[in-house]
Amino acid sequence: MYTWGKGVWYRSVQGGGLTTSARGIIMKSVNSRLSAGKLRISMTLGVAMAATVLFFGASAMADEGVEAAGKNRYMDYCASCHGVDAKGAGPFAVMLTKKPSDLTLLSKNNGGTFPYDHVFEAIDGRDMIGGAHGSKDMPIWGGEWKDSGLASETALRGRILEMLIYLKSIQQ
């Protein structure tokens, strides 16, 4: 229970000990400049602003982490054909009957908008892309991903989304 006295909020504490609460100390130090209502509003706004900064800062760091994970997956699963620069000139490209796509032009070739659905379906095998990525049931990397313990459809989609975020980041 809090009571007001001598410009300080006091808290009743059973069993003795200090009776001045942290809130009382704050109130005493700013009492001459702010009323309790204004202080409450200021503190609420301060906490809200700090939370906003932390949220957006963490969100940006999370995006960078997801993009980095997508780049790693791209390098592991796609760069051998599409190339490290994603322009379609990977070391295995010469062995393919169809030249791999320049993945840096996906947005440009789609009217300036990144084609998330089309690329997702190409990666997961729903869009056959002329058979370049294996059968509809099993893209060339699909078996490896399932064998690595990704029994969950959600986990598999998460890996694909990481690559989509990376691919979007390298568009010209």
For 28-42, the pLDDT digits (tens) are 544 445 555 555 665
- 32 vs 141: CA distance, rounded Å: 69
| pLDDT surpassing 60 at residue 62 | no
- 23 vs 119: CA distance, rounded Å: 55
- Residues with Cβ < 8 Å from 68, sequence gap 6 or more? none
Q: 57-169 sits in which CATH class?
A: mainly alpha
Per-residue model confidence (pLDDT) at position 21: 47
146 pLDDT tier (thresholds 50, 70, 90): low
Parse the chain into domains and list their residue ranges. 2-33, 57-169
pTM of this structure: 0.57
- 134 vs 74: CA distance, rounded Å: 17
